[in-house]
Structure 1
Amino acid sequence: MRSKNAQISIAIVSLVLGIMLAIQFKTTASSNDANLPARVEDVAQKLDTVTQERDALAEEVVSLREKLSNVRKNDQAMADLQGELQKSNMMAGLTAVEGPGIILTVNDIPRIMQAGEDPNSYIVHDTDLQTLVNDLKASGAEAISINDQRITAMSEIRCASTLILVNTRRIGPPFVIKATGNPDMLESGMTIKGGWLGIMKQWGYQIQMQKAEKVQIPPYSGAIRLEYSGLPSDKEKAD
């Protein structure tokens, strides 16, 4: 009897428990269904925010790429300007240069003068050096120096008593003329038949010339003065 009552009690408890579980499940499902629109709206808002942030970052990336491109262009333009400035300085003789070329040494005629002879007939003159420099330029010399005095477009080579004035420096023999350029062309140009170097050699001047793989020529070290020249005004440029 007790066993039967226990079975009935268990059945009743199980039934009640089942009913309670069913009610709870239904309540939970109803609650989830009620909250679903709010959750969807929340997710949509978050997605919209993320999308806006992504678009803003994409625009920033494009802007940064444009700025980087402009910087690179400016850097390239600056590098080009620096290169042109360096070339201009080299052409003007304001920077030291190094390269293949020739080294030419010219000295006075080694002869004991006799009474009544003119000593000027045995020494190297400013006109001799100027002619040799012109011949080197015609032979393709890119840079020239005489006793480490750089020859520029403004250089002067002229007599100064018993010495020779190059730029603002007095120099004397032996005169070491250095020139950069194609060594073969320079040598050929200076030894051409009828050239001034050949004539000086015939007269007895001491001449030595050698080709070199590395000729070092210093920069012009004097002051650059322009007293009467200047850049034209904008109006003069327009005219």
Structure 2
Amino acid sequence: MTDRRELPRKRSVWRFGVPVVCVAAGLLLGTTYGVSGGDEIRRSDAPRLVDLVREAQQSVDRLSAEQGALALRFDNHHGGSPGAAAALTAMTDRGNALAAQAGLTPLRGPGLVVTLNDAQRDAQGRFPRDASPDDLVVHQQDIQGVINAMWSAGAEGIQVQDQRIIATSAPRCVGNTLLLNGRTYSPPYVISAVGDPGAMQAALAESPLVTLYKRYAVRFGLGYTEETRDVELVGHSESVRMKFAQPMGPLGY
């Protein structure tokens, strides 16, 4: 037999449980509608990962084909005809000739080697008492004076330490060291040049800056030597980029 005392409890649970479930279901449906914007969440036309990968691959293939066509067009334009090949050869020969003049290729021949060095201490380990620190070191203008004198005497090429001097080279003093093309050097500074040794020695003797340096060498013990011998210069190997230069017209305008 059924216990009459349990019936009211079961009716009470269903009375309150069903509305709660209905309210929860309504909230879930409302949230789903808000997220989907009124559209079906699991539509059959939603993009899949495999479709995205396939589209990306097709785009890559299309761009690769365009790149190949442009490369072929470029090759045909610059070297596809006998006239273009002859023009390219002429430009290459001209570039090789200018490379030698610009100091981009090694050079060897008779020349002169000048060595500059900071002052050395005497036997007692002392410098002259009336010397200031600037009097005892090689300065930027001293190196430039030697280089300019060599150029004025017709030097074919000049090298400082292990670097070739070209149009964009600029030796700089940083304390008692030399900065050249981003590299630092300590004394002694060796300046080598290919050219007429006699003409370069005469130009050095007439240079005001070199003459002044020689006086300091006698007074404070700075180092200065000249040596005539066969000289071998390296070619400038770094990239040559003109940051501010512009091409000139036929008349230089």
Normalised by the size of structure 1, how large is the TM-score?
0.58
User: Do 1:100 and 1:215's aligned partners in 2 also have CA atoms closer than 8 Å?
Assistant: yes
Change (3 A) 1:208 1:86: same
Question: Which residue number corresponds to residue 174 of structure 2?
Answer: 160
Question: Which residue number corresponds to residue 172 of structure 1?
Answer: 186
Residue 160 of structure 1 and its aligned partner are, at CA, apart by: 1.8
Deviation per CA, 1:197-231, whole angstroms, max 9, x where unpaired?
3332221221111111x211111133323334454
User: Do 2:117 and 2:188's aligned partners in 1 also have CA atoms closer than 8 Å?
Assistant: yes
Question: Which residue number corresponds to residue 89 of structure 1?
Answer: 99
User: Do 2:141 and 2:209's aligned partners in 1 also have CA atoms closer than 8 Å?
Assistant: no
Distance 2:244 2:200 in 1: 36
Change (3 A) 1:87 1:100: farther
**Which is further off, 174-183 or 199-208?**
199-208
Q: Equivalent of 2:231, from 200, 212, 215?
A: 215
Change (3 A) 1:190 1:229: closer
Distance 1:91 1:190 in 2: 23
Question: Which residue number corresponds to residue 104 of structure 1?
Answer: 114
Residue 114 of structure 1 and its aligned partner are, at CA, apart by: 6.1
Asked if 1:224 corresponds to 2:224, the answer is no
Deviation per CA, 1:22-73, whole angstroms, max 9, x where unpaired?
xxxxxxxxxxxxxxxxxxxxxxxxxxxxxxxxxxxxxxxxxxxxxxxxx9xx
**The residue matched to 2:111 in structure 1 has which SS?**
strand
User: Do 2:155 and 2:200's aligned partners in 1 also have CA atoms closer than 8 Å?
Assistant: yes
Residues 30-69 of structure 1 aligned to structure 2 (within 5 Å) = none
How many equivalent residue pairs?
A: 161
Q: Which has the higher helix share?
A: 1
Change (3 A) 1:180 1:83: farther
Question: Which residue number corresponds to residue 199 of structure 1?
Answer: 212
Change (3 A) 1:188 1:83: farther
Distance 2:202 2:97 in 1: 27
User: Do 1:168 and 1:222's aligned partners in 2 also have CA atoms closer than 8 Å?
Assistant: no
Asked if 1:148 corresponds to 2:148, the answer is no
**The residue matched to 1:89 in structure 2 has which SS?**
helix
**The residue matched to 1:227 in structure 2 has which SS?**
coil
Normalised by the size of structure 2, how large is the TM-score?
0.55
Residue 159 of structure 1 and its aligned partner are, at CA, apart by: 1.6
Distance 1:116 1:206 in 2: 18
In structure 1, runs of 5+ residues without a counterpart are 1-70
Change (3 A) 1:115 1:210: closer
Distance 1:208 1:136 in 2: 15
User: Do 1:187 and 1:211's aligned partners in 2 also have CA atoms closer than 8 Å?
Assistant: no
In structure 2, runs of 5+ residues without a counterpart are 1-81
Residue 81 of structure 1 and its aligned partner are, at CA, apart by: 5.6
Distance 1:115 1:191 in 2: 29
Give the letter aligned to residue 175 of structure 2. S
**Matched residues, percent identical?**
27
Distance 2:197 2:154 in 1: 9
RMSD: 3.1
User: Do 2:137 and 2:176's aligned partners in 1 also have CA atoms closer than 8 Å?
Assistant: no
User: Do 1:104 and 1:209's aligned partners in 2 also have CA atoms closer than 8 Å?
Assistant: yes
